[in-house]
Structure 1
């Protein structure tokens, strides 16, 4: 039984490790563009130089799992074609877990990818005191990036540009986020970006601001692999799946994480881990001749860092709608750090439990 996992983020790693634990006869191959496992929830630390986001992939996978470093060009009928022009990997079942990506405006460095985060880290290291860094994107990625840079490099001027700052949080939590950014000295501009020129960012309102380094913190697209391979996709490129997280085009292919069109799901490690684990459990059930169970997952909240000593934890209902309750401060920062560590632990050990969705 040959199982191929394409992508080694949270969803892909937990899927591979969980299949290895449940299907002893499986020959598992993980295909990934790099030989590292990247903690996406720590990319803002990587950018700011306050932490590290990469771990050797071999240390994250169980013994016996093979790895192939390379990018996948296409998934065909039981085969994965790599982009090196000739290599192919056969499969009986496949888990597609390529995540999401970014499409920045020209002139900006994307911080939502490993390569972009490394480029941004190098660029930041070369900036002298008093220089201006502009972070584009008012979502949690943008807020965390701006706050982390302001915390790690207090000698820089940090600006955050976005139309809705932390807009996925409750009103009270958003107010607390703004207070945390103010304490770190982050300038907040509620606007969108029209164009980025050398040394200048042009806003949609017509105003412009100076910027020595502009970072793009908007996660807005998924890789084209599913569409390129002929799988049914939605307009945004996410693969259409059934209630078991199998592609509606090919039941041998499971699609999990950011690249899967799962109703009610948002891009987060809190989504990727349950989906990867469920796909592995379903595959094991199918191989054993047992009836698979529909995927079900409920959210508990959102967490974002404001530097290393502050954070906001937003409590939500299972359907991901926010409650008025939130927690903030040093205690919240400790909890946020533990959440990040647990996510990595869950992927590596395949030991993970989650809240079921509402019936």
Structure 2
């Protein structure tokens, strides 16, 4: 029985490792554009030079799982076509290609491995007193701005975006804003409409910012692989799935993570890992001819780091709505670090974390 896992992020890596245990006779091949497992929730540390964000797949995958360094160009009828022209057959496919960014021209995307590397090099070349503008006021933008300000206090750091920390309660949002102020990060409730060749940032309000580096931290787009392969997708290009996470157009394809259109879910490793675990269980049950179990969304918290010594942990209800209380300060920073390490451990072992509090 041949199973292909397209993508080796949190969902794909966990799914492959879990499936190797659940269906030991299956021939599992992980297809990924790079030979590393990238911890997207650590990319802001890679940018600021405060931590590593990648581990070789050889260290993350169980013995016996095959790997192919390639991108899936198209999904056909029981086969995938790779960008090098090769074709691989499958009985089942776990589609876990994650999300991507559509950066404004003149900005550097921070939510991809390549973009984070480019941002790291550009940031390292900036002299003291230079200005950095981070576009996007969600967890990714907040963590990026805070990490840069913590690592390079001599820089001028601004965070521009609407719906600041929208997933948090009002009091938790205020605490995040206070944490950014302590790091001398200026928060602007605005939009960026253009970044000019000279680095000037034009705002939706009509304002202008002189900037030496503009970073794009708005995550929400998904690769068009599902759409160009003829699978049924929603308006954002995410693959439509049934209650078992199977593609509505092809039940041999199980979808997990950011590229899956699961009602009530959001893009985060907190979503990706439980879905990766459930995708593996669904494939194993189909292989073994056992009844399938429906997937249910179950959130626990949102975690945001504010440099290495501060953070905010916002507990949530199962539907991801915020609870009243939250944790902040050094204890929150330590908790967030533990959560990130736990996410990596879950991916490597195939343990199905439920509601893991990821930040992105």
Counterpart CA distance in 2 for 1:233 and 1:355 is 25
Counterpart CA distance in 1 for 2:160 and 2:110 is 15
What is aligned with 1:224?
224
SS at match of 1:325: coil
Q: Deviations over 1:226-284 (max 9, x none)?
A: 00100000011000000000000000000100000000000010100000000111111
Structure 2 unaligned regions, length at least 5: none
- Alpha carbons 2:36, 2:54 under 8 Å: kept: yes
Q: Deviations over 1:46-66 (max 9, x none)?
A: 111111111101110000111
Per the TM alignment, residue 315 of structure 1 is displaced from its structure 2 partner at its CA by 1.1
Q: Deviations over 1:146-171 (max 9, x none)?
A: 00000011111111101222121100
Matched, 1:351 2:351: yes
The equivalences for 1:1-359 within 5 A come to: 1-84=1-84, 86-197=85-196, 198-354=198-354
Counterpart CA distance in 2 for 1:126 and 1:157 is 14
SS at match of 1:333: helix
TM-score normalized by the length of structure 2: 0.97
- Alpha carbons 2:264, 2:297 under 8 Å: kept: no
SS at match of 1:100: coil
Q: Deviations over 1:275-329 (max 9, x none)?
A: 0000111111122221010011310110000000001000110011111111100
SS at match of 2:325: strand
Counterpart CA distance in 2 for 1:252 and 1:352 is 21
Counterpart CA distance in 1 for 2:33 and 2:156 is 35
- Alpha carbons 2:232, 2:240 under 8 Å: kept: yes
Q: Deviations over 1:2-60 (max 9, x none)?
A: 00000000000010001101111100000001001000000110111111111101110
Runs of 4+ in structure 1 over 2 Å off: none
TM-score normalized by the length of structure 1: 0.98
Counterpart CA distance in 2 for 1:36 and 1:300 is 28
